Structure 1
Amino acid sequence: MEWQVFVLYPFRDPREVKKLLIGCVICIVPIINIIVVGYFMACLSNGIRGRLTLPDWNNWQDLARDSLFGLMILAVYLLIPLILVPFLMIIPLAGSLLLSMLMLLAGMLVPIAMGGYVMTCDIQYAFRLPDIIMQAVKIIEHYIPIYLAAAFIIAIGLAIILVIPYLSPVGAVIIFYTGIILFRSTGMLIRDSRYK
């Protein structure tokens, strides 16, 4: 799969641009922006189902429910690296490096774990670590570059929000757009791996 397909797909149709703009506005509004996690999961679902469009913003109940489950999945997967922070920060340089690697690894599993939930509508599937790791191994060749690029771009968006607060909307839009690309791409890779 070519990267241009992943990055430019929201601009294929004017209706898609409208959905993108709605998401950008929602992403900027504090507290309400949590709903974006559910939208990312809808993008993941569209990728898994082979849909070529962005999800609609019309099913707020599902988006809210999926946001809660998505945040739960995120919290559980990032909990272990966060618990290790005090212990790893004692070790100069190597501790920070190890913590960064653990956060990247845990973060890498989050979209795949969310995919487990999206495919089954059962939260338990998101926490079946052997299955999640097996899925990650199946798609790793294409997933790692997408994930690392997305993690880097999201880090830039977060840095903009934290360092230049008056440009926070720009950072939020960067994070939202990158999330759409990451989650839909992950869904497509999961779908493709099921037919190999």
Structure 2
Amino acid sequence: MDFERAFKFPTDDPNWIKKVVIGAVLSLIPIVNFISFGYALELLKNIIDSKEELPEWSEFGGKFVKGLVAFIIMFIYMLIPSIIWVVFGGLSILTMFTGSDEAIVGGIVGLGIVGLITFLVTLIIGFIIPMAYANYIAYDDFGAAFRFSEIFEKIKDNFSDYCILYLIVIVTGAIVIFIASVIPILGLIIAIFVDFYFYLVYAYIMGKIY
């Protein structure tokens, strides 16, 4: 997998700046940002179909639907760590309110353990979600995002590259947060554009892996 190529790919398009600006601006608007997500998914489909080109900014309704469906897929996957946190974290908090010192200490320890477990489960599920997106968009079928045997087989066949992609997502995400937090106002604006650009990079890599 040529990861260097992935980071340069969006700039091959003569209108790449315009396309990134549109995607970044749309990503700022709640609900409307599903269109930007859908755009990245259309790029993912292009790469899967061996079409190395950025999509055009047209058919906004179709992009919105793709982005919305992807959000629903993520929401369903993330129900598992959410339930763990709400149920077991809630029990730990209730334990703290029983009044005794032992209960308070036990509740705090329990809350820490539940938090750690929730974090680890979130990381594991977050590892699976990109391939679930790819399977959904490849088949244009919502149910394909939950064909676990296919998803795990695809991950297994490309495990090293897939792990690198996941690390890239984490590292670039941290870079975006750093830019937004260190440079007042201008940093936030830069981070928004960089973040959308990285989404295009992720889509390219995921399409090649798939």
What is the TM-score normalised by the length of structure 1? 0.84
Q: Deviations over 1:22-76 (max 9, x none)?
A: 2122223343222112112112111211111111111212101101111111111
Q: Answer whether contact 2:180 2:188 (CA < 8 A) is retained.
A: yes
Alignment partners' CA distance in 1, 2:121 and 2:184: 28
Q: Which residue of 1 aligns with 2:98?
A: none
Number of aligned positions between the proteins: 190
* TM-aligned CA distance change 1:106 to 1:158, over 3 Å: farther
Matched, 1:169 2:194: no
Larger mean CA deviation between 51-60 and 19-28 belongs to 19-28
Q: Which 5+ residue runs of structure 1 have no aligned equivalent?
A: 191-196
Amino acid at match of 2:49: R
Q: Which residue of 2 aligns with 1:22?
A: 22
Amino acid at match of 1:41: L
Q: Deviations over 1:134-170 (max 9, x none)?
A: 2111121101111212123224435666898844333
What does 1:25-104 align with in structure 2 at a 5 Å threshold? 25-86=25-86, 87=88, 91=110, 94-104=113-123
Q: Which residue of 2 aligns with 1:143?
A: 162
Matched, 1:114 2:137: no
Q: Answer whether contact 2:43 2:204 (CA < 8 A) is retained.
A: yes
SS at match of 1:14: coil
SS at match of 1:178: helix
Q: Which residue of 1 aligns with 2:209?
A: 189
Alignment partners' CA distance in 1, 2:179 and 2:17: 24
* 1:18 Cα offset (Å): 2.3
* TM-aligned CA distance change 1:152 to 1:110, over 3 Å: same
Aligned residues: percent identity? 27
Larger gyration radius, structure 1 or structure 2: 2
* TM-aligned CA distance change 1:68 to 1:162, over 3 Å: farther
* TM-aligned CA distance change 1:74 to 1:162, over 3 Å: farther
Amino acid at match of 1:36: S
What is the TM-score normalised by the length of structure 2? 0.79
